[in-house]
Amino acid sequence: MHQSQMNLLTDPVSRLLVRIAIPSSIGMFFNTMYNVVDTFYAGRVSTIALAAISLSFPFFIIIMAVGRGITSAANVLISNALGTGDKDEASMYHAQAVGMSVITSILLPLLLIPFLPAVFRFVGTTDKQVLQYALMYVNILIGGSIFMVLGFAFNAGLSARGLTQYFRNVTIIGFFLNIGLNPLFMYGLRIRDFVIFPAWGVPGIAIATVFIQAMGSMYFAWKTRRIACFMHRTCNDFFPRWKYVKSIIRLAIPPAIDFMMISIGFFIILKFISQFGTLQVAAYGVGIRIEQLSLLPTFGFSIALAAITGQNNGAGNIERIKKAYGISLFITFIFMIIIVGFALIYSYPLIRLFTKDELVVRYTRVYIFIQAITNYSYILMRQSSAVLQGIKKPNWLLISGPLRQLVAPLIVFPLLLTAFYGERGVWWGILSINWTFALIGFFIVLYKLNTRMGKACA
């Protein structure tokens, strides 16, 4: 059976989870490997370049927060509409999401770029060369953010139907293009004294990213057109209409803020780490790349769970949502045990892929060993968020994001820094905060589902 023939309302839940999650997880793997390639080449330039790339991560998160907020809302509204059998409404929500993505992508550079130097100085960036590299890199990344956000919006209609193979295709091709384009854009190409392609240095990494995202966005647009995601929509349907914009904004704000809080949390972590030195900042940048890799095989399940939840919520089948949630958590737990074990055993050679500095290696290993206990909390939070979004009850994300990323660190980190030497206090703080909020989210999901089931029975 072709993936497009899946029925998210009647097919066995475990089979659906695996069939949707596998292509998506593969896509997430190559998407993160894409970022790993960037880190790899920056590390080959210098530790200063590596630190600069690490500092850009929060702004990358902000761009993704905007894209994912709109996409998450569109995914929920499209899948719920499909669950009720209203394909015309589903296509209208998709068109409106694409239109909103264009507008927000135009506003994003205007809102962020003027404040970049002040933000970098706030987190303790005093090295002028690090600041110079970071500013050049982030300016390009933000300037080309329209392609990333548009790609998310086009893909929303595909993932709402369980069609995750297109995301996989884009990320695989993008990964291999990045391997070739990064050195080309960084070092240029010349034959003797004739320059065929100019050398842009570290900013070339960002230019390659924007170029590849533009190609990916065009691919998603082509695919959505081919499978008739927009049906009979005209150009006017892409201009904002309050009825649809209001629904998208209501569901987009909670996940966008939650995701954007990751950026603020990153700044706070950097603020505490930077007091110990540039090497610790570089180690954290390498550590979160490896941490992302270890989480990748499980992230596809939250995408699968969101699609299943949305359509079944539209159809009023809450028991099926609860079953999917439980099965997804069990499968991802097994995956996590295997993956974390591998990451711990091979931590040294993994870190050495990014840096040869033995001090950075040592600091990164400490981070990885402590965060191994934390990893499943991220999965639990993502799965819970997928269900809450799918049933159109995302308000917990509005509360948990600011509390987890902003309030709790400012309280917990100073306390733990007095109990543990150096940056280790921050690592243990991350662990305690994430597990607390993951468990709270888990019980909220169970309460919401049981309440909805009780109302249905009554």
Phi, psi of 191, deg, nearest 5: -115, 110
pTM of the model: 0.75
pLDDT at 1: 38
DSSP string across 401-420: HHIIIIIHHHHHHHHHHHHS
- The tokens of 129 are what? 């060369």
pLDDT at 440: 95
- The tokens of 454 are what? 């009780």
Cα-Cα end-to-end distance for the chain: 38
Q: Are 53 and 38 in contact (CB under 8 A)?
A: yes
**pLDDT tens, the chain, 458 aa long:** 344 467 888 888 888 888 888 888 888 778 777 777 877 777 777 777 777 777 776 677 778 788 888 888 888 888 888 888 888 888 888 888 888 888 888 888 888 788 777 777 776 666 677 777 778 888 888 888 888 888 888 888 888 888 888 888 998 999 999 898 888 888 877 777 776 777 777 788 888 889 998 999 999 988 888 776 777 777 888 888 888 888 888 888 888 887 778 777 877 888 888 777 778 778 887 888 788 777 877 888 888 888 888 888 888 888 999 999 999 999 999 988 888 888 788 888 888 877 778 888 888 888 888 888 888 999 999 999 989 988 888 888 888 888 998 899 999 888 887 777 677 888 888 899 999 999 999 999 999 988 877 665 55
In the chain, what is the greatest distance between 2 CA atoms, to the nearest angstrom? Answer: 81
Cα angle 155, 205, 277 (rounded to 5 degrees) comes to 110
pLDDT tens string 344-386: 888 888 888 777 788 888 888 888 888 888 889 999 999 999 8
Within 10 A of 358 (CB to CB), how many other CB atoms are there?
A: 9
C-alpha dihedral over 243, 245, 246, 251, to 10 degrees? 130
pLDDT at 2: 42
Distance CA 235, CA 242 (A): 16
pLDDT at 123: 61
Within 10 A of 19 (CB to CB), how many other CB atoms are there?
A: 18
Phi, psi of 232, deg, nearest 5: -105, 30
Positive or negative torsion for Cα 130, 131, 136, 139: positive
Alpha helices in 85-164 (DSSP H): 87-112, 116-122, 128-143, 145-159
- The tokens of 137 are what? 């890199």
Beta strand 189-191 with 194-197 is antiparallel
- Cα 156 from chain centroid (whole Å): 14
Q: Is 2 buried (19+), middle (13-18) or exposed (0-12) by CB count in 10 A?
A: exposed
Contacts of residue 105, defined as CB under 8 A and 6 or more positions apart, other chains included, come to: 66, 145, 146, 149, 150
pLDDT at 384: 94
